[in-house]
Structure 1
Amino acid sequence: MEILQSNTDHYFYSEDDFGRTELTPSYRVDLRNPMNEHLDKFINANLVSDWSQLTWKEVGKPYEVKTVAKEKREWENENGPMSVKKSWEFFNRSFHEWFVKDVPKEISKAKQKAWRYLSRFQMSEVKKALGETLRLSLWNYAHRIEDGIWDPRGKRALFEGLDVNRPRILFLGAAEGYEAMQLYAMYPGGEVVLVDYDEFCRTDRFGTFPESYPFLGTNPATGQPKVWYKDQMNIHYIVDDIRNLPFGKEFDIVISVGLLEHFPDEHKPEVLDWHRRFLKPGGYVIMTTPRYQLKSLLFYKIMADVMNHTYRELMDIRQMGLYVYEGGFEILRHGFIKVHNGIVARPR
Structure 2
Amino acid sequence: MLQLGMETDIQLNETRLQPSHRMDLRNFSEKDYNKFVKLNTVNDWSQLRWKDIGRPYEVTSFAKEKKDWEEEHQQSLPANVSWQMFNKSFHEWFVKDVPAEMDMSKRNFMKSLSNFKLAETKSALGELIRIHLWNYAHRIEDGIWDPRGKRALFEGLDLIKPRILFLGAAEGYEAMQLSAMYPGGEIVFVDYDPFCKDTRFRDFPDTYPFLGSNPSTGGNKVYHKKDFETEYIVEDIRNLPFGHEFDIVLSVGLLEHFPDTLKSEVVDWHKRFLKTGGYIIMTTPRAQLKSKLYYEIMADVMNHTYRELMTVEQMGLYLYENGLDILKHGFIKVHNGIVARPR
TM-score, with normalisation over the residues of structure 2? Answer: 0.96
Aligned to 1:184: 179
Structure 1: how far apart are the matches of 2:256 and 2:299? 16
**Residue by residue, what CA displacement relative to the aligned partner does 1:292-319 show, whole Å, maximum 9, x if unpaired?**
0011000000000000001000000100
Q: Deviation above 4 Å: which 4+ runs of structure 1?
A: 11-14, 34-38
Post-superposition offset of 1:12: 5.4
Which residue of 169, 176, 188 maps to 1:174? 169
Q: 1:230 to 1:37 in 2, by over 3 A?
A: farther
Structure 2: how far apart are the matches of 1:176 and 1:302? 23
Query: What SS does structure 1 have at the residue aligned with 2:112?
Result: helix
Structure 2: unaligned runs, 5 residues or longer? none
Q: More deviation in 41-50 or 163-172?
A: 41-50
Code of the aligned partner of 1:284? Y
Question: Do the aligned residues in 2 keep the contact of 1:170 with 1:195 (CA within 8 Å)?
Answer: yes
Which residue of 162, 182, 189 maps to 1:194? 189
Post-superposition offset of 1:40: 2.8
Aligned to 1:296: 291
Aligned to 1:89: 84
Say yes or no: does 1:47 pair with 2:80.
Answer: no
Structure 2: how far apart are the matches of 1:173 and 1:237? 11
Q: More deviation in 149-158 or 124-133?
A: 124-133
Post-superposition offset of 1:11: 6.4
Query: What SS does structure 2 have at the residue aligned with 1:255?
Result: strand
Which residue of 138, 149, 157 maps to 1:154? 149
**Residue by residue, what CA displacement relative to the aligned partner does 1:29-63 show, whole Å, maximum 9, x if unpaired?**
11111788843333211110000000111111101
Structure 1: how far apart are the matches of 2:117 and 2:32? 51
C-alpha RMSD of matched pairs (Å):
1.6
Say yes or no: does 1:71 pair with 2:42.
Answer: no
Structure 1: how far apart are the matches of 2:248 and 2:31? 24
Question: Do the aligned residues in 2 keep the contact of 1:181 with 1:230 (CA within 8 Å)?
Answer: yes
Pairwise mapping of residues 27-42 of structure 1 onto structure 2 (< 5 A)? Answer: 27-33=21-27, 38-42=32-36
Structure 2: how far apart are the matches of 1:293 and 1:17? 34
Code of the aligned partner of 2:55? K
Question: Do the aligned residues in 2 keep the contact of 1:36 with 1:156 (CA within 8 Å)?
Answer: no
Q: More deviation in 118-127 or 299-308?
A: 118-127
Q: 1:251 to 1:34 in 2, by over 3 A?
A: same
Structure 2: how far apart are the matches of 1:61 and 1:25? 38
Aligned to 1:130: 125
Identity of aligned residues (%): 65
Structure 1: how far apart are the matches of 2:157 and 2:82? 35
Structure 1: how far apart are the matches of 2:28 and 2:247? 24
**Residue by residue, what CA displacement relative to the aligned partner does 1:1-24 show, whole Å, maximum 9, x if unpaired?**
xxxxxxxx836577x701211111
Aligned to 1:335: 330
Query: What SS does structure 2 have at the residue aligned with 1:164?
Result: coil
Query: What SS does structure 1 have at the residue aligned with 2:222?
Result: strand
Structure 2: how far apart are the matches of 1:154 and 1:333? 14
Say yes or no: does 1:59 pair with 2:53.
Answer: yes
Aligned to 1:3: none
Q: 1:38 to 1:245 in 2, by over 3 A?
A: same
Question: Do the aligned residues in 2 keep the contact of 1:42 with 1:157 (CA within 8 Å)?
Answer: no
User: Number of residue pairs matched?
Assistant: 340
Say yes or no: does 1:224 pair with 2:226.
Answer: no
Post-superposition offset of 1:154: 0.3
Code of the aligned partner of 1:60? G
Structure 1: how far apart are the matches of 2:28 and 2:227? 19
**Residue by residue, what CA displacement relative to the aligned partner does 1:228-273 show, whole Å, maximum 9, x if unpaired?**
0000110110000000000000000000000000000000000000
Aligned to 1:282: 277
